[in-house]
Amino acid sequence: MSEGNKTLVTEFVLTGLTERSWLQFLFFLMFLVINIITMVGNVGLMALIWKDAHLYMPMYLFLGGLAFADACTSTSVTPKMLANFLDKTAMISLAECITQFHFFASSATTECFLLVVIAYDRYVAICNPLLYPVIMSNRLCIQLIIISYAISFLHPLIHMSLLLRLTFCRSNIINYFYCEILQLFQISSIDPSINALMVFIFAALIQISTLMTIIISYPRVLFDILKKKSEKGRSKAFSTCSAHLLSVSLYCGTLIFTYVRPASSLDEDQGKLYSLFYTIIIPLLNPFIYSLRNKEAIGALR
């Protein structure tokens, strides 16, 4: 495009995961199955907790909130990606792009907060079991979930307001499978340094603080587990905590590698792989990580 004939871009092309037509159809089938399992797993877990009064406990209320966040994450990314596998143009408007970013960022931030809350719940349950019913009441749990969702809904609005200052007339090609905000910065005609700095600051604040809070709390938790006299009690506590640590390490680790590091040090294929983890793989795995190793959930399901 000549310098004197630039036009403002209001629609973008998502290149997706591959340009090979046979792979696109294969990916469509694979991610369609993954999306169905993800939604059945997360919505099923929420329905199970809602239906069974025996699961009206803090841990399951948090897991229900986490399942809803995972369902929102998957819904914000996967349907558009599936449609683009079958649509050769793979277009997305600027309004759709911003909306997709908001829903993804809200659900991702909510998941970070809920992982911290779940860690606190496990800390109180294992380190202060006698005070647990007093400290972790159902009312407090619901308040923590509501606060997590409220803050997470407001957080992306900061980036969205800054995003509106950018214009796009150099290119309309986003080399990604969803409207990823860092990719928008790369095709902006205006210097996006302020936007990138704000993304880095908030990502570091949320993700690193989430990971560090959980890491700091677990030595005390593990020490108290080892002091338990009951082999059954140790096994149950280890099972719950290991499931939580696995989820945290996979989720926060890939988010940190994507957002809390110099953009130039991240290869595009690596970026897509990390994004697949926190947008598609983690929402698929979480219901099974937390539920299949939990006897109460298995009993309720039966």
* Low-confidence winner among 11-20, 24-33, 192-201 (lowest mean pLDDT): 11-20
3 confidence band (pLDDT: 50, 70, 90): very low
How many angstroms from the chain centroid is the CA of residue 163? Answer: 21
* Low-confidence winner among 18-22, 32-36, 261-265, 272-276 (lowest mean pLDDT): 261-265
In a domain, 40, yes or no: yes
In a domain, 4, yes or no: no
Count, in order, helices (H) and strands (E) of the chain: 12, 3
In a domain, 9, yes or no: no
4 confidence band (pLDDT: 50, 70, 90): very low
How many angstroms from the chain centroid is the CA of residue 301? Answer: 25
Integer CA distances (angstroms), 228 to 59, 136, 218, 224, 234, in order? 20, 21, 15, 7, 6
In a domain, 1, yes or no: no
Strand 11-14 to 91-93 pairing: antiparallel
Rounded mean pLDDT of the chain?
84
**Strand order, beta sheet including 11-14:** 91-93, 11-14, 173-174
* Low-confidence winner among 32-41, 120-129, 241-250 (lowest mean pLDDT): 241-250
Q: Is the pLDDT of residue 40 over 60?
A: yes
Q: Distance (Å, rounded) from C-alpha 293 to C-alpha 295?
A: 7
DSSP β-bridge partners for residue 92: 12
Which of 209, 227, 228, 205 has the alpha carbon at shortest distance from 217? Answer: 209
In a domain, 8, yes or no: no
pLDDT 10s digits, 92-103: 888 899 999 999
- Range(s) of the domain holding residue 260: 14-301
What is the sign, positive or negative, of the torsion defined by CA atoms of 96, 98, 104, 110? negative
Which CATH number is 77's domain given?
1.20.1070.10
**What's the total number of domains in the chain?**
1
Q: What pLDDT score was predicted for residue 72?
A: 94
In a domain, 3, yes or no: no
In a domain, 143, yes or no: yes
In a domain, 156, yes or no: yes
1 confidence band (pLDDT: 50, 70, 90): very low
CA angle 268, 212, 103 (to 5 degrees): 50
Q: How many CB atoms lie within 10 A of CB 134?
A: 10
Q: Is the pLDDT of residue 5 over 60?
A: no
pLDDT 10s digits, 178-225: 988 988 888 888 889 999 999 999 998 998 888 888 888 888 877 777
Please give the model's pTM, rounded to 2 decimal places. 0.87
Q: What pLDDT score was predicted for residue 76?
A: 93
